[in-house]
Amino acid sequence: MKSPIYILGTGLSHNGSAILLKDGRVCAGIEKERLSRIKHDGGNDTLAVQYCLDAEGITLKDLALVVQCANLDIPDRNYFKGKRLFAAAPELKVITISHHLAHAYSAVGTSPFTECAVMVIDGCGSQLEHFLELHPEQKKYIPQNLQDDIHMQCEKDSFYHFDGQQLIPLVKDFSRMATSKSNIFSPPTTLHSIGGFYATISNYIFGDLDDVGKLMGLAPFGTSGVFDFKAFEFQSGNVLVNEDWKSQLTNPSHGYDYFKTHFDYYANVARWAQEQVEQAVITCITNRLEQFPHDNLCYSGGVALNAVANAKLQDSNTVKNIYFEPAAADNGLALGCAFYGWLEYLKMPKVAHDGSTCFGKHYTNEAIDAAFAKAENQKYTPTKYNSDEALMDYCAAQLVQGKTIGWFQSGCEFGPRSLGRRSILAHPGIENMKDHINRDIKFREDFRPFAPAVLKDKVDEYFVTGRNSPYMILVDQTRPEYREALQNVTHKDGSARVQTVEASWNPKFAGLLTEFYRQSGIAVLLNTSLNKRGMPIVETPEEAIQLFEITALDILVIENYVLEK
């Protein structure tokens, strides 16, 4: 019997991760933060790589190839912020690719397209010097004035054509890095990136560059048109961040109490910034497609997580078909590395992806029993349901009554969204449920929204556009007649970041939604990640039990085991 071909992809940027392909299909994958329990953790990849090997039951000797990617580094194969596993396997082939190329391959490898255009937009990719060292054959795609610039230049957006086997660069845009770290408007990104701009506004409002998701949630509370200055300009088809707006923003937040006192002001800034990003994304992608038309587009990079901009891009009809990569930020680099190894390096044919983002390992009943057997957990007496039908009936009935459920099932999701494997679930329409979860379970700001998970064949009934949105990466508008019934998952402006649930790769979650619909008449559940503020999404049964202990969750379901308070 022919041995399988294993390729390991590893991302060493912030939001580090590892992915294992078996004969061109993902068989295991994890983000480092889920294991180290440190948000946005990156650098050394030992934890994530070992997890993938253990999940598949293989060793380094079984790997055909390792493909790696960082951000501002070309990592050493043996040492990167500590000793790496590959140091013990000198015969193992380890290659490095550039940052945007990894983003792009993460999209084409998981997309439904055999041929497409690919857009990558983020805050900062590989520096030009490293890009040319890794891909000297692509020097012809870089304008001479960029090659002659003595300043540090890094990728900010890239546009490719995928011919079914390899990516061909069409437009590569680089920008100088910001230099002054003392200025609040100079984050560690390129000067002229859309992602860098959004991170800058996040820092201005929240004092944190990584709160861009929170910024998108704040924007609906603001009013359009309060500020009339522009953040971006376009020269020869390239996006540039102008400087004028910086002198207009003179009141950075000084902590959460200050933020609350000046809430309307910061909401207006967030609204302005969100609208600037939407316009910049659509203009940039439209420009590229006008130069190189194609019916299919893959979109990746950190900016591609902006669900509001994504929906507006889709509604603009700029392109016929768009695939938004679910792990579009740096957590998806490992995915792209692995697919580069399969498609480009080994020249193997693309294998159709099943649409799932759930790459984590499964925890056996023995592992769950061991978690309950720990001394600190023996105060709980779990109930085990012998059939999925009985479990669904019980859980749906509890949700109807207003109970909150921690829902832990099968292998975890890869990417920033919980999609029914590591979720907190609740009724979408019971009054004050949103506030209760934000305050007593998530321990986060009260303006933060929650997403509706809806059965795929019912999405048209509840939401205006009725988009297919399996990865919670697009917004829609809740139909007016359902806004009260869906009050906990409908945002200030009537929008909702929808997740459409299908049984093909999410069978247990689809089953629960179906039973909740039968009992309540509503085919929608509130779905948010199984964690609290500042904590990575739980990975293990032990972590789920600990979260249950320290929050106001009413019920915890781990596979077919149920805990109640």
| Burial tier of 42 (Cβ tally within 10 Å: 0-12, 13-18, 19+) | buried
Instruction: For residue 454, give the H/E element and its range.
Output: strand 451-455
* Residue 383 confidence (pLDDT): 97
SS3 130: helix
* Residue 150 confidence (pLDDT): 84
Domain boundaries, the chain: 6-100+334-345, 112-324, 365-564
What's the whole-number mean pLDDT along residues 342-363? 97
In this structure, the number of other CB atoms found within 10 A of the CB of residue 522 comes to 21
* Residue 181 confidence (pLDDT): 62
How much of the chain, in percent, has pLDDT values that exceed 70?
99
What's the whole-number mean pLDDT along residues 1-28? 96
* Residue 448 confidence (pLDDT): 95
Phi, psi at residue 433, to the nearest 5°? -65, -40
Residues 6+ apart with CB under 8 A from 376: none
The confidence band for 409, taking pLDDT boundaries of 50, 70 and 90, is very high
Residue found by looking up tokens 């038309």 in the block: 293
User: Which strands make up the sheet holding 296-300, listed edge to edge?
Assistant: 167-176, 153-162, 116-121, 296-300, 321-324
Distances in Å between the Cα of 501 and the Cα atoms of 330, 480, 498, 511 are 25, 22, 10, 10
Two tokens, residue 268: 């207006």
* Residue 211 confidence (pLDDT): 74
* Residue 182 confidence (pLDDT): 58
277 in Cβ contact with 213 (< 8 Å): no
What's the whole-number mean pLDDT along residues 407-417? 97
What radius of gyration do the chain's Cα atoms show? Answer: 23
CATH number 3.30.420.40 is the correct assignment for the domain at 112-324: yes
Fold of 365-564: DHBP synthase (3.90.870)
Instruction: For residue 76, give the H/E element and its range.
Output: none
pLDDT at position 343 over 70: yes
* Residue 189 confidence (pLDDT): 82
In this structure, the number of other CB atoms found within 10 A of the CB of residue 468 comes to 12
Mean pLDDT, the chain, whole residue set: 95
For residue range 45-90, list pLDDT tens digits in order.
Answer: 999 999 999 999 999 999 999 999 998 899 999 999 999 999 999 9
516 in Cβ contact with 399 (< 8 Å): yes
In this structure, the number of other CB atoms found within 10 A of the CB of residue 291 comes to 11
Give the CA angle between residues 474, 477, 480 to the nearest 5°.
160
* Residue 327 confidence (pLDDT): 97
SS3 552: coil
* Residue 179 confidence (pLDDT): 72
- How far is it, in rounded angstroms, from Cα 252 to Cα 267? 13
Determine the angle formed by the axes of helices 263-291 and 307-315, rounding to 10 degrees.
40
pLDDT at position 7 over 80: yes
* Residue 180 confidence (pLDDT): 61
Nearest CA to 112 out of 280, 324, 363, 258 is that of 324
pLDDT at position 489 over 90: yes
SS3 166: coil
pLDDT at position 31 over 70: yes
- How far is it, in rounded angstroms, from Cα 167 to Cα 115? 10
269 in Cβ contact with 204 (< 8 Å): yes
Distances in Å between the Cα of 407 and the Cα atoms of 105, 371, 561 are 32, 16, 10
Same topology for domains 6-100+334-345 and 365-564, yes or no?
Answer: no
Give the CA angle between residues 340, 307, 120 to the nearest 5°.
30
- How far is it, in rounded angstroms, from Cα 120 to Cα 157? 5
Give me the long-range contacts of 171-175 (CB less than 8 A, separation at least 24): 171/237, 171/288, 171/291, 171/292, 172/100, 172/138, 172/141, 172/142, 173/238, 173/239, 174/128, 174/142, 174/146
For residue range 170-222, list pLDDT tens digits in order.
Answer: 999 999 988 766 577 776 788 899 999 999 999 999 987 677 889 999 999 99
Give the end-to-end CA distance of the chain in Å, rounded to a whole number.
51
The confidence band for 143, taking pLDDT boundaries of 50, 70 and 90, is confident
What's the whole-number mean pLDDT along residues 508-526? 98
CATH number 3.60.20.10 is the correct assignment for the domain at 6-100+334-345: no
526 in Cβ contact with 454 (< 8 Å): no
The confidence band for 147, taking pLDDT boundaries of 50, 70 and 90, is confident
In this structure, the number of other CB atoms found within 10 A of the CB of residue 338 comes to 31
| Burial tier of 352 (Cβ tally within 10 Å: 0-12, 13-18, 19+) | exposed
For residue range 80-101, list pLDDT tens digits in order.
Answer: 999 999 999 999 999 999 999 9
What's the whole-number mean pLDDT along residues 255-279? 96
Two tokens, residue 89: 């396997």
What's the whole-number mean pLDDT along residues 345-354? 97
309 in Cβ contact with 254 (< 8 Å): no
* Residue 236 confidence (pLDDT): 85
Nearest CA to 10 out of 108, 113, 80, 62 is that of 80
User: Which strands make up the sheet holding 561-564, listed edge to edge?
Assistant: 383-384, 561-564, 555-558, 405-408, 422-426, 524-529, 451-455, 495-501, 474-477
Higher model confidence: residue 147 or residue 422? 422
